[in-house]
Amino acid sequence: MSKPILVVGAGPSGLAAAHSLASVGQKVILVEKEDTLGGAPILSGYAKLVPSGEWAKDAIGSMVDRVVDNKNITIHKGMTVDKFTGKPGAFKAELSNGKSVSAGATILCTGFTHFDSVNKPEWGFGTFPDVVTTTQVEQMISSGQGVRRPSNGEKPKRVAILLCVGSRDRQIGREWCSKICCSVSANIATEIREELPDCHVYIYYMDIRTFGLYEEVYWKSQEEHKVKYIKARIAEVTSDGDKVIVKGEDTLVKRPITIPFDMVVHAVGMDPNVDNMLISSIFGVDLHHWGYLAQENLYGTAGATSRAGVFVAGSATGPETIDDSIAQGNAAAMSALASITKA
Ligand SMILES: Cc1cc2nc3c(=O)[nH]c(=O)nc-3n(C[C@H](O)[C@H](O)[C@H](O)COP(=O)(O)OP(=O)(O)OC[C@H]3O[C@@H](n4cnc5c(N)ncnc54)[C@H](O)[C@@H]3O)c2cc1C
Ligand code: SF4
């Protein structure tokens, strides 16, 4: 009987990897550092997901349930791997509770970290209470509270969503496109319009990247929900003590624009997991030059890293959608299984 496969991280990619391995009878050890399973969609309280429109707690909640109920999966919550030694087919992982487990292979599904908007101070987050992030708006919607101005609890009449906050920004060392935030923002804009039909919602963009089928949410937001799109470069977000004021240049007509809003929402990007240096050194795997966990080969063994027997999946590898993270989790599961079958 082969040794279990260790899956680190229980977000969509780790849950998918664990479930597909267990469903072919493979024993799995799933280690998650938080006390709750489900990754960012659950931990950060996302509302309705794009492109499915399903509530995150239902869609990802059912992924959690089928893992929790599975006899082939042993779950260690609130735990990390502190030491990792051995070779393919015979790894040993020491957990933060002092226990150690044996594993034939490992899949790192340790995900990403939301960009912290305080690193973009000129756009007002942390200075003005009515400047919030997409994750905060997701939480307002999913908690049932509804979208309200943090400063006074009132329903906003005008909301601006600023795209590419912490993405495609070389000045702050974030060159990548975070892939999902255009679609998430169009979706949030639609949800605001549905809840507050009198509220005008504007999206400030450099480019719109609602790729593939996600384009539907973009068209719907404009055509059915009258969300307005402004192609602009934003200079700063200030306040007059009540409204928050977005200043910039409309890059289509090449004119300065200054517009007051009740709320400004930062569409935050997907940074590399802040712990990636540590994860890379514990597991002995290389980092991509932007700080994500590097894939050894995009066209060969799915999810291979620089260390044989250690695989990677999902947004640990770079910004990814949930469905692609799940697909990568399943693919890395196949690679890990093949590696212990050969070993
Ligand atoms: C605001 C926002 C909204 C989004 N909405 C959508 C959407 O509607 N649709 C969509 O397709 N995508 C959406 N995304 C993207 C989505 O969040 C990711 O695709 C998804 O979370 C990736 O899953 P993952 O399992 O790779 O990583 P994560 O969800 O980040 O899960 C990683 C897990 O690993 C755990 N972990 C981390 N480090 C360790 C460690 N050292 N040891 C043990 N455990 C560890 C974490 O606690 C976490 O549970 C959104 C992203 C943002 C920023
Ligand atoms: S998906 Fe859109 S908002 Fe996000 S970084 Fe890419 S272009 Fe910017």
Atom index in ligand 2 nearest the CA of residue 178 equals 5
**First vs last Cα of the chain: how many Å apart?**
12
Whether residue 51 has a cis bond before it, omega within 30° of 0? yes
Per-residue pLDDT at 1 exceeds 80: no
Rounded average pLDDT over 248-260 = 96
User: How many angstroms separate the alpha carbon of residue 315 from the centre of ligand 1?
Assistant: 7
**CB of residue 134 inside a 6 A radius of ligand 1:** yes
Would you state the pLDDT for residue 212?
93
Per-residue pLDDT at 342 exceeds 80: no
Nearest listed ligand to the Cα of residue 322? 1
Q: Tens digits of per-residue pLDDT, 35-68? A: 999 999 999 999 999 999 999 999 999 999 999 9
Q: Tens digits of per-residue pLDDT, 79-103? A: 999 999 999 999 999 999 999 999 9
Q: Which residues line ligand 2 (CB under 6 A)?
A: 163-164, 167-168, 177-179, 181-182, 207, 209, 267, 269
Nearest CA to ligand 2 atom 1: 179
CA distance 94 to 100: 4
**CB of residue 13 inside a 6 A radius of ligand 1:** yes
Per-residue pLDDT at 17 exceeds 90: yes
Q: Tens digits of per-residue pLDDT, 291-325? A: 999 999 999 999 999 999 999 999 999 999 999 99
Would you state the pLDDT for residue 2?
79
Q: Which domains does the chain have, with CATH numbers?
A: 5-111+273-342 (3.50.50.60), 117-270 (3.50.50.60)
Per-residue pLDDT at 343 exceeds 60: no
Q: Tens digits of per-residue pLDDT, 219-231? A: 999 999 999 999 9
User: How many angstroms separate the alpha carbon of residue 180 from the centre of ligand 2?
Assistant: 7
User: How many angstroms separate the alpha carbon of residue 111 from the centre of ligand 1?
Assistant: 5
**CB of residue 9 inside a 6 A radius of ligand 1:** yes
Rounded average pLDDT over 241-246 = 97
Q: How many residues can be counted in the chain?
A: 343
Which one has a higher pLDDT value, 297 or 247? Answer: 247
Instruction: Report the mean per-residue pLDDT for the chain.
Output: 97
**CB of residue 220 inside a 6 A radius of ligand 1:** no
CA distance 343 to 337: 10
Rounded average pLDDT over 142-154 = 97
C-alpha closest to that of 265 among 168, 186, 160 = 160
Percentage above 70 pLDDT, the chain: 99
Name residues whose C-beta falls within 8 Å of residue 232's C-beta, 6 or more positions apart in sequence.
204, 205, 248, 249, 250, 251, 257
Percentage above 90 pLDDT, the chain: 98
Nearest listed ligand to the Cα of residue 115? 1
Atom index in ligand 1 nearest the CA of residue 43 equals 49
C-alpha closest to that of 195 among 129, 264, 261, 137 = 137
Atom index in ligand 1 nearest the CA of residue 81 equals 42
Would you state the pLDDT for residue 167?
97
CA distance 230 to 252: 9
